[in-house]
Amino acid sequence: MKSVELGEIFDITSSKRVFQSEWKDKGIPFFRAREIVKISKYGFVDNELFISEEMYEDYKSKYGVPKEDDILITGVGTLGITYKVKKGDKFYFKDGNIIWFKKKSDVDSKFVQYCFQSQEVLRQVQSGANGATVGTFTIEKAKKTKIPLPPLATQKKIAAILDAADAHRQKTKQLLAKYDELAQSIFLDMFGDPVTNPKGWKKRTLDKLLTRKTQNGHYAPKDVYSEEGVQMVHMSDAFYQILEPGEFKRVLVSDGLRKKYEINDSDILVARRSLNYEGAAKPCMVPKYSEPLIYESSLIRLTPDQKVLTPIYLFYFLNNDRARGAYVLKHVTKSTISGINNKGLNAVEIVLPPIELQKQFLNIVKVIEMEKVIAKQSLEKAEELFQGLLQKAFKGELVE
DNA sequence: CACTTAGTGATACAAATGCT
DNA sequence: AGCATTTGTATCACTAAGTG
């Protein structure tokens, strides 16, 4: 298939400089790289930066503004994220960090946009950091980036097929998000708001609800990391909700230490430190593992007494924004680095519904979690499908 | 275009505290 | 006292913002 450099089919440039002092809190939306990333991820952006109408009109008349079917691409930090300008879009963007592809020839912009999801093109985007501190996709590099280019009609057909595959992918992603929402709303439905506590459940401090004392995890200087060791969960593994199945870093420990720091599906891990105040003391569930698993010193292990408290309920409670605001965050120390220590964690009050009700919740959430596993698998399949189609399209095998 | 500065998260570390 | 454990902070790694 014929391959071209992007410089041949687009005028590639950037915007005029807009200084921070010229940012306004209303007017014409102003996008930085992060806004482009957000739009591409969620399809919309709650923009907080603007420039004045006058400035926009001034730049528009003097230098022009992005038009329908132009493409914007992030060029600093997160590289190669695209946004195709829609009809009627009215915004301006930051120079240097976003590259502007002005359409100058008869190509299908959507096709070009999909090119930026293929490994071949992404490799070109990421290659050669130019010796800069932060990886950049420069205008020069953009001009020289090669993409395959079939005739226009074929481009359109390919884009249409990829659209379908992409829609399928997005749908699965949304489904996953819906399951999370569902679990949260069932939590609220069954137990009521944890702050106003309308059902009048009793409250207990966490230390009264555990079968063993809270404890920081194993501290291992890096020289004892080894392929032959035991898998150890770090803060980065435990920051989001539930441990993903897969490989963690391994560390050499004695049997005694292994027993001491072992975790399983009846435990909840809590991140001990976080620079961000709201992010401190985030809980994480532990699924069943066939292999022994220990945890690192930046995490604290909670083992609830299952006669009165189920791990799932504890997780949802600690993860609920309202509960965190009312019961958890006040124990978070606020120095240069926010965090929670054992004393603080033990003093966190838990709204404690009867164990029977907690078990009902557990049964429901189990079903949802199982559905989530299935959804995750189909998401992976959808990704594969998409990538597969992309590969074929570029080899000219997808459409005649 | 590529620099400097800034923000954030993770890990390393040493001093403080606690336990026996 | 002598050790284990906890805690706060230093430092590294990384991404991103802002500017000459």
Residues A57 and A100 in one domain: yes
Please write the tens of the pLDDT for every residue from A100-124.
888 888 889 899 888 888 878 877 7
Residues A371 and A395 in one domain: yes
Q: What pLDDT, on a 0 to 100 scale, did the predictor assign at position A327?
A: 84
Distance A56 CA to B5 C1' (A): 28
**Dist. CA A205–CA A353, nearest whole Å:** 13
Residues A217 and A236 in one domain: yes
Residue A196 lies in a domain: no
Q: What pLDDT, on a 0 to 100 scale, did the predictor assign at position A197?
A: 94
Distance A242 CA to C17 C1' (A): 32
What's the structural domain count of chain A?
Answer: 3
Please write the tens of the pLDDT for every residue from A16-47.
777 766 777 777 888 877 777 777 776 666 66
pLDDT category at A337 given cuts 50, 70, 90 is low
Residue A197 lies in a domain: no
pLDDT category at A199 given cuts 50, 70, 90 is very high
Residues A9 and A135 in one domain: yes
Q: Where are the alpha helices (DSSP H) in A116-261?
A: 119-126, 139-144, 152-191, 255-261
Please write the tens of the pLDDT for every residue from A160-177.
999 999 898 888 888 888
Residue nearest to nucleotide B5 (CA to C1'): A133
Residue A271 lies in a domain: yes
Indicate the residue among A328, A352, A376 that finishes a domain: A352
Residues A226 and A318 in one domain: yes
Distance A175 CA to B4 C1' (A): 43
Give the CATH number, domain containing residue A278: 3.90.220.20
Q: Tell me which of A211 and A355 has the higher pLDDT.
A: A355
Give the CATH number, domain containing residue A400: 1.10.287
Contact flag, residue A273 CB and nucleic strand B, below 7 A: yes
Residues A207 and A301 in one domain: yes
Inform me whether the pLDDT recorded for A358 exceeds 90: yes
**Dist. CA A312–CA A366, nearest whole Å:** 9
Contact flag, residue A145 CB and nucleic strand B, below 7 A: no
Contact flag, residue A79 CB and nucleic strand B, below 7 A: no
Q: What pLDDT, on a 0 to 100 scale, did the predictor assign at position A132?
A: 47
Tell me which nucleotides of strand B come within 7 A of a protein CB: 1-5, 8-14
CA-to-CA dists, residue A348 to A121, A201, A268, A270, angstroms: 50, 16, 15, 13
**Dist. CA A276–CA A357, nearest whole Å:** 34
Distance A274 CA to C1 C1' (A): 36
Residue A161 lies in a domain: yes
Please write the tens of the pLDDT for every residue from A250-300.
777 777 777 888 888 888 888 777 655 556 677 888 888 778 888 887 788
A216 nearest nucleotide via C1' and CA:
C6
Distance A387 CA to C15 C1' (A): 26
Residues A125 and A42 in one domain: yes
Domain housing A15: 3-147
Residues A342 and A364 in one domain: no
Residue A330 lies in a domain: yes
Contact flag, residue A33 CB and nucleic strand B, below 7 A: no
Residue A300 lies in a domain: yes
Distance A326 CA to C1 C1' (A): 44
Residue A253 lies in a domain: yes
Residue A184 lies in a domain: yes
